[in-house]
Amino acid sequence: MDSFEHETMSVSKQARDFLRSRQSRSVASTMEKARASGRILLQPRCGVGSHEQQLALLKKLSEDANPDVATITIDSYTRLGAFDKAHELARTNPATLNGYPLVAHGAERLREMVLAIEAPIQIRHGSPDPRRLFSTSLEGGADGFEGGPLSYTLPYSKDFPLERSLRAWDIVDEVCGELAEDGINIDREFFGSLSGTLVHPVISLSVTFIEAMKAFSKGANKVGIAISQSGCPYQDIAGLRAIELLATSLCPGKTVFPILHHFMGVFPRDPTKALALIAQGSVTARLGKATKVVVKTQVEALGIPSADANATAINFSRIFFSPIFDGFLPDNSKIDEEAQQIYCEVESLVSMTFEHGDSNGTIANLFAEGRLDVPFCPSRYCKGLCVPRRADDGAIRIVDPGLMSFSRPFLDREMRMAGLNADPMQISAMIRDIQYFSGEDDADSQ
């Protein structure tokens, strides 16, 4: 499964039976119930190299915070297909791994974790070619598998060809479609955080809706679309609202769950300021009617969070979903205008990728030409010429489109809303934008 000599993927009868038996408590079912009730789900990020420690971490989080969806975050070696190296370190020095080496530990150990906790498990990773990881996930009974060919290639891999990733993920989504016909829904969530650095919602949602529409074409009928908290509440609420507008227009008859990631940029080192940023994100998710929030912790800037830190963040975030925070809403007309602008521009960018029969070739060509682009990505298959900046009001604006196919009215509005003067030291200014929440000196003034 490491080459394209094997372009099909089979799922064993044992795995199918196990997945089918748990459909009422699967990630997809949990998301559907939350959407119907208006409840917001909470999900941590967590992954360590040792199987015993990962199992203990999941159990402790379950006891201390009762997350609605549990996570196994995969290590970098496994993400990029270095399975032998991951296996060696899992055996000799698992503490050096920055996540759980699922392929090395195997499906049987994953099944042990699935059975050990109440919440369904989603696999989060960053793989441009996820086929072997996906196969192990299914055989182990995990029914949530995050990521897509753009969001998990452009920000994570320098030399992995985009067309190859598109083909690999097609196989994943074909299996999901075939399982759906068999009554087994695999949760598919698309990662809009991308590089995590000044990601404009138009770029984020263009990428994730391209991925979602490809998944729908393979048989999926329910997906999650995620954006990350920018730190500007009205723009983030508008982004969440735009997901619903775009779903109705681009994916009629399909179910799309809006998801918010807590801030993915440089976090404050001060735990109190970190909690304030988490609080802002949680209130934003409530006002934007997110179905799920993927949480960060108050020690985000300091290292991999412990179970205690994750539990604190989940319990803290849950406070802001209380009715006592009803009514905290920025100017609704401002949000509606922003959402409409996002909607129109994303619809245009996404639609042009499906104008011809060969969507994979079209998508790869659009990125090669720079007509689609993601700033600050290492991939050589992405131009990276589009320049975002943070405006005076905290919103992220496009100040140089590069070669992207934005409309002129949108770009004119972006420049007007940015309110930025020409800066001969643009790199320094962009660094300040990136460190918007992290600097000790200027954080007090935010």
241's CB contacts (< 8 A; 6+ apart) are 288, 289, 335, 336, 339
- Spell out the residues 6+ positions from residue 368 whose beta carbon is closer than 8 angstroms to its own: 162, 381, 383
Please count the other Cβ atoms lying within 10 Å of the Cβ belonging to residue 356: 10
Q: Provide the 8-state DSSP code for 70.
A: E
Count Cα neighbours of 25 within 13 Å in the Cβ-side half-sphere.
13
Per-residue pLDDT of 61-97, as tens digits, reads: 999 999 999 999 999 999 999 999 999 999 999 999 9
3-state helix, strand, coil in the chain (%, to 5): 50, 10, 40
Question: pTM value?
Answer: 0.93
How far apart are alpha carbons 433 and 446 in whole angstroms?
12
Reply yes or no on whether the pLDDT at 440 is more than 60: no
Query: Is the pLDDT at 1 greater than 80, yes or no?
Result: no
Look up the CATH superfamily of 13-325: Methylmalonyl-CoA mutase (3.20.20.240)
Structure tokens at 57: 């971490």
CB of 64 closer than 8 Å to CB of 311 = yes
Q: What residue ranges do the domains of the chain occupy?
A: 13-325
pLDDT in tens, 187-215: 999 999 999 999 999 999 999 999 999 99
Contact assessment for residue 168 and residue 129, using Cβ atoms and an 8 Å cutoff = yes
- pLDDT (mean) for 36-55: 96
